[in-house]
Structure 1
Amino acid sequence: MKAYVFPGQGAQFSGMGKDLYENNLKAKEYFTRANDVLDFKITDVMFEGSEEELKQTKITQPAIFLHSVIIALTSEDFRPDAVAGHSLGELSALVANGTLAFEDGLKLVLKRALAMQKACEMNPSTMAAVLGLEDSIVEDVCRSVHDEVVTPANYNSPGQIVISGTHKGIEIASEKLKEKGAKRVIPLAVGGAFHSPLMRPAHDELEEAIHETHFNKPVCPIYQNVDARPYEDVQSIKQNLIAQLTAPVKWAQSVANMINEGNDYFVECGPGKVLQGLIKKIDKSVSTESL
């Protein structure tokens, strides 16, 4: 069985999608529609923009979404048995498996990006990657930090968890994690504490937008971030997508569940090969490739 996976924020690069635009008429049509929906030429920034321009949240999230979704929608071989996306990638996956129309997915991505940016400005915060510790130790350390917000945000692979919280909370937790034997604790260059309670304002804003958007019955299950389980029921998919902004991304658990349920071939759709690397760390026996 073949599963298709979609990356999240951080995979962007200058020139992304340019080959698709220039060499595939169908892809060019999607990019043109995207410029119309967004009311600005995101293609100019994707194809020619600087690294700094691409780091703007209102650019980064739609750009990765577009690159990922257009690759999938223009592929003649795209026949998924299951899909999953890492954080932002969950919206890409929902367009790819037919749950969301292309334009609706793009509108939600832009609303998500702007709402998250606003939440970051309201509550200055950050994230850090923790390498070389068991999940339970990282969870215990986060719980031990009082009077500050700090929580696991991304369960990426065995021995790799990203934590999220206030600057002070991350600082305190980082020292404690090093004392517990973490190989490294790496501060991340991000705008805020994604997938933590500090994203509550964005959660509330996106909830309204999701309820106003039409969702179709998907052509295959999506394994969702909040609990790593497969869903085809529209109402459940909506609720899980809303909860995702303040809940941790259970990526390692999602991949493990997909493998346990017969998916042994993973295809990454989008810029980079980050998810392929994580999947191989979760289970070396499965096959991976980029679309």
Structure 2
Amino acid sequence: MKLGFLYAGQGSQHPGMGADLYEAYPAFRAVIDSAQVDFDLKEVSFTDSQGVINQTRYTQPCMVAFAAGLTAVLREQGVTPAVAAGLSLGEYSALHAAGVFDAAQAVKLVAFRGKAMEEAAAGRESAMIAVLGLDRAPLQEACEEAGSLGCVVIANYNCPGQLVIGGEKAAVEKAAALAKEKGAKRCLPLKVSGPFHTPLMAPAGAALEEYFRSVTFAQPQIPVIFNCLGDVKGDDVTIPELLVRQVQSSVFMEDSIRKMAAMGLDALVEIGPGKALSGFVKKTVPDLPVYAVETVADVEALVQKVKEEQV
């Protein structure tokens, strides 16, 4: 089977994620145990007794360690991607799957990213709101009309009928009200700790740009679809440049999914807790099968499916 791997982003994390995989697979265990962070990654992921898993600086390394461990398990079982992409944070897991950096380096990178994003968001009156049932053009108009109150942009193009706006609180709330006037079915405030993927994250972008100067990026071994392009990158831009841009600009997830579907894949595999991306796939390219993999049972089912297709 020709598979595309889609890696989940921040927001789908929960205590207990990966606990069964850790018990069942040495390959998963090795990735978790090798993670170099300044907290007990295993404790936060599996039990979260301190209630910190939803704080960005903890969420990001836990999620990427989970994804890298699961990728190692699938690789060991002969299940590998022909192309990879990820939602926001998940892009780092996609780059790891493509061989741009190893698991330990991926975790270290996002541990820095998580702290930089938290610091950029600190002290800001910001908001993010999911806008359902409205097309891009009228929502863009709503953002422009509300711009006199502050920064507000479309931060996430998730799938048809599901967009997310973010920025300064007053401007975002005004844009949401205008979106309803323009025909949006619902506007749902999101529980996030900052105005992610908006120009307000520029300080995090600057911190990443500086940090990346000391990081080695290998050549990807498979195509990677980048968030801020909704496409593979050209020769005119580097991966570090795209990751700096990514943290402070829109995520084109719908475009990324369409691009992957156009590459002749047999199926997509969502890697990470939850099934949010599977939902986006079903609304964007309903004819393309998608399998969500989070547990030991999910791994076994996918491996069996791949074996059956190869017969």
TM-score w.r.t. length of structure 2: 0.89
Q: How far 1:232 sits from its partner (Å)? A: 7.9
Pair 221,51 (structure 1): closer, same or farther in 2 beyond 3 Å = farther
AA in 2 matched with 1:139: Q
How many Å separate the matches in 2 of 1:52 and 1:278? 29
Q: Which residue matches 1:133? A: 134
AA in 2 matched with 1:59: Y
Alignment of 1:230-245 (within 5 A): 230-231=232-233, 236-245=238-247
- Aligned to 1:38, the other structure's residue is in SS state coil
Q: Which residue matches 1:101? A: 102
Q: Which residues of structure 2 form unaligned runs of 5+?
A: 294-311
Q: Which residue matches 1:73? A: 72
Alignment of 1:265-276 (within 5 A): 265-276=267-278
C-alpha distance after superposition, 1:85-132 (max 9, x if no partner): 000000011111111121211111011100000011043311000000
How many Å separate the matches in 1 of 2:57 and 2:155? 21
Q: Which residue matches 2:197? A: 195
1:115 aligns with 2:116: yes
Q: How far 1:193 sits from its partner (Å)? A: 0.5
Q: How far 1:50 sits from its partner (Å)? A: 5.0
1:160 aligns with 2:159: no
Q: Which residue matches 1:252? A: 254
1:62 aligns with 2:64: no
Pair 177,71 (structure 1): closer, same or farther in 2 beyond 3 Å = same
Q: Which residues of structure 1 form unaligned runs of 5+?
A: none
Q: How far 1:192 sits from its partner (Å)? A: 1.1
- Aligned to 1:114, the other structure's residue is in SS state helix
How many Å separate the matches in 1 of 2:87 and 2:143? 22
How many Å separate the matches in 2 of 1:157 and 1:174? 18
Q: Which residue matches 1:284? A: 286
Q: Which residue matches 2:27? A: 26
Conserved 8 A contact 1:196-1:245: yes
- Aligned to 1:151, the other structure's residue is in SS state strand
Identity score, percent: 37
Q: How far 1:272 sits from its partner (Å)? A: 1.2
Q: Which residue matches 1:45? A: 44
Q: List 4+ stretches of structure 1 deviating above 4 A.
A: 232-235
Q: Which residue matches 1:142? A: 143
- Aligned to 1:246, the other structure's residue is in SS state coil
